A and B are shown apart, each in its own frame.
Chain A
């Protein structure tokens, strides 16, 4: 237990510099991009031309003449309190706008995650059980083909088939719930195939280990060997990969959300980039970065639970 605790502490400790790096990236982005806010504020009224002294006075009042690390400190304390600034576009607070859009992104992410886990694990195990038989060969070729279809091509293809020809599913929006089926498939299918292939190769890697040979010598059937002995060890790379993908989903998928007109974090970022809305981009970078790091941390902990060798410091 002590080792476990130490492992968790180390992982959390290692995540801190990465989180700081993300805040620096976001802050630097705002710093370089924003121009001179004091001048911008004084020239809101086009008829009024401010003198150099006025601009300088406002700069000092806004704290723009302070050293950069003090500005950073002030910004970060705002961020901790949940103040990400206001959007240039409509003056709405960035954080509350993102929180308003978050449920759609969350729903899409979790549905896709479920699909990836179910399809990926099932596919991977089936490919191993039917190794080198027809199912395996066809499955591998099919999965590499699906992996190669870009998500947005798949999305349009599905719209054409299911919405235009068969008229089964709505093409866009968030209502009713069936509207989430196509975006979810577009996001998840290629990752699910990748996970299945990954799992297949890692189970096969475990099956040639000595302990698997012993189990086989004892007379276990292949399915028993896979489920009881090797699966748990072989899951680690798949879990890491799924976490990477899921961390990306949480940041909103700009393409899928824009194709299916789902108002989420991704479309928010897309609008922000197109309008050069720096505060919003800053908030978005910060949000996605943090979500990603936390998901990765979680996946490290899951891996250490699955394979205690990891938390005991042995390289697997």
Chain B
């Protein structure tokens, strides 16, 4: 049962990624083509999901929306991972006063709520997608580096590391060939949950007008556009909301499955 759900979720996620990549080929219409005469039209052969308040094709906007949502999420998580991984590796592998210092900074960053960070960064740099990305990375690298460090601390004491060092392997070589492969699998759970929450943050901020700006096609913006019209025509709200929910659901199911199968680390398990 769990396996079945996992494969379903994986299929959905991959489908979203493919739709995002090939948005140009799949989308039946230009997502920004305005046609006021045909606004809020019901689904028809021409517009499979109907049109929004400006007469734009809803399906095309959804398809382009998955491009922006999915790619921002993966990009932001990638940046966070890179930063957290590097800092966590250095901190855990080399130890000493650097470790103490880094852990102090990590403690402070983890103590500050992420909303405060997001608001501070957005307030400082002004609303926009670039500042949103920075805000996400700044507010979430600490958790990654903490998890990486704890993993590395355990691996560092293993005999095979000692063996590699005895054979004359440099630090970089040991990290690349022996430490990294061993921590990546447990990290997957954390990466999956982060992608899910990043999609939500981006959609929420775009919804508030602090991330992507209209007329861009993004699920958050579509929901924001829909808020004046959903009373009469619930379809304009339901379409982006379903996509968002489906995406989060697939991420949650994947993370759940991975956690059951790979993860024994109490620190990562506590997230969910």
A135 CB–B CB distance under 8 Å = no
Identity of the chain A residue whose Cβ is nearest the Cβ of B231 in the assembled complex: A164
CB-based contact B116/A22 at 8 Å: yes
Nearest B-chain residue to A287, judged by Cβ: B116
B231 touches A33 (CB 8 A): no
Does B42 make an interface contact (CB < 8 A)?
no
Residues 97-128 of chain A, each 1 if its beta carbon lies under 8 Å from chain B, else 0: 00000000000000000000000000000000
Query: Does B208 belong to the interface (CB within 8 Å)?
Result: yes
**Contact call B112/A22, Cβ cutoff below 8 A:** yes
Verify A32–B124 contact, CB threshold 8 A: yes
Q: Return chain B residues, CB-CB under 8 Å to A73.
A: none
Q: Is A197 an interface residue (CB 8 A)?
A: yes
Contact with A along B10-27 (1 / 0, CB 8 A): 000000000000000000
Q: Mark B87-99, 1 if CB is under 8 A from A, else 0.
A: 0000000000000
Cβ of A258 within 8 Å of any chain B Cβ, yes or no, is: yes
Q: Mark A275-299, 1 if CB is under 8 A from B, else 0.
A: 0101001001100110011001000
Q: Spot the interface stretch: A38-46, A224-232, A266-274.
A: A266-274
Indicate if A130 sits at the interface (CB-CB under 8 A). no
Q: State which size class the interface on A falls in.
A: 35 or more
| Among B49-57, B156-164, B242-250, the stretch in contact with A | B242-250
Kindly state whether residue B168 has any CB partner on chain A within 8 Å. Answer: no
Given contacts A281-B123, A285-B120, contact A150 B204 (CB under 8 A): yes
Q: Does A157 contact B (CB under 8 A)?
A: yes
Residue B113 contacts which of A241, A255, A269, A289 (CB distance < 8 angstroms)? A289
Q: How far is the CB of A278 from chain B (nearest CB, A)?
A: 7
**How many cross-chain pairs have Cβ atoms below 8 Å apart between A and B?**
132
CB neighbours (8 Å) of B230 from chain A are: 156, 160
A residues in contact with B120, CB < 8 Å: 25-26, 29, 281, 285
Determine if A153 and B123 form an interchain contact, defined as CB atoms under 8 angstroms apart: no
Q: How far is the CA of A241 from the CA of B109 in the complex (A)?
A: 17
Would you give the 0/1 interface string for A10-29, flagging 1 where the beta carbon is closer than 8 Å to chain B? Answer: 00001101100110011001
Smallest CB–CB gap between B131 and chain A, Å?
10
* Cβ contact within 8 Å between B124 and A284: no
Distance of A284 Cα from B208 Cα, bound (Å): 17
Taking a contact as CB atoms closer than 8 A, the residue among A156, A201, A241 that contacts B237 in the complex is A156
Among residues of B, the one whose C-beta sits closest to the C-beta of A275 is: B123
Within 8 A of B (CB), among A187-236: 194, 197-198, 201
What residues of chain A lie closer than 8 Å to B127, measured between beta carbons? 273-274
Q: Is B119 close to A, CB under 8 A?
A: yes
Chain B positions within 8 Å of A26 at CB level = 120
Given A144-B256, A145-B249, A160-B230, A273 and B115 contact (CB-CB distance below 8 Å): no
* Min CB–CB distance B88 → chain A (angstroms): 19
| B115 with A251: CB separation less than 8 A | yes
Say if the beta carbon of A301 comes within 8 Å of chain B: no
For window 140-179 of A, CB contacts with B under 8 Å fall at 144-145, 147-153, 156-157, 160, 164
By the criterion CB–CB under 8 Å, are B119 and A156 in contact?
no
- Given the complex, which residues of B lie within 8 Å of A288, measured CB to CB? 113, 115-116, 119
**Contact assessment for A21 and B223 in the assembled complex, using a CB-CB cutoff below 8 Å:** no
Chain B residues lying within 8 Å of A276, measured Cβ to Cβ, are 123, 126
List chain A residues, Cβ under 8 A from B109. Answer: 21
When C-beta atoms are compared, the residue in chain A nearest to B107 turns out to be: A18
Distance from A79 Cβ to chain B, minimum over Cβ atoms (Å): 15
Interface residues of B in 238-258 (CB under 8 A from A): 241, 244-246, 248-249, 251-253, 256
Contact of A281 with B223 in the complex, beta carbons under 8 Å: no
Tell me whether B208 and A289 are in contact (CB under 8 A): no
Can you list 8 pairs linking A and B with CB atoms under 8 Å apart?
Answer: A22-B111, A25-B112, A144-B253, A150-B200, A156-B237, A197-B272, A248-B114, A288-B115
What 9 A-B pairs have minimum CB-CB distances, sorted nearest first?
A18-B111, A21-B108, A281-B123, A148-B249, A153-B241, A148-B248, A292-B113, A288-B116, A285-B120
Instruction: Kindly list 11 other residue pairs between chains A and B, CB separation below 8 angstroms, not including A144-B256, A148-B246, A274-B210.
Output: A18-B112, A29-B120, A29-B124, A148-B251, A149-B241, A150-B203, A150-B245, A160-B237, A240-B270, A276-B126, A281-B119
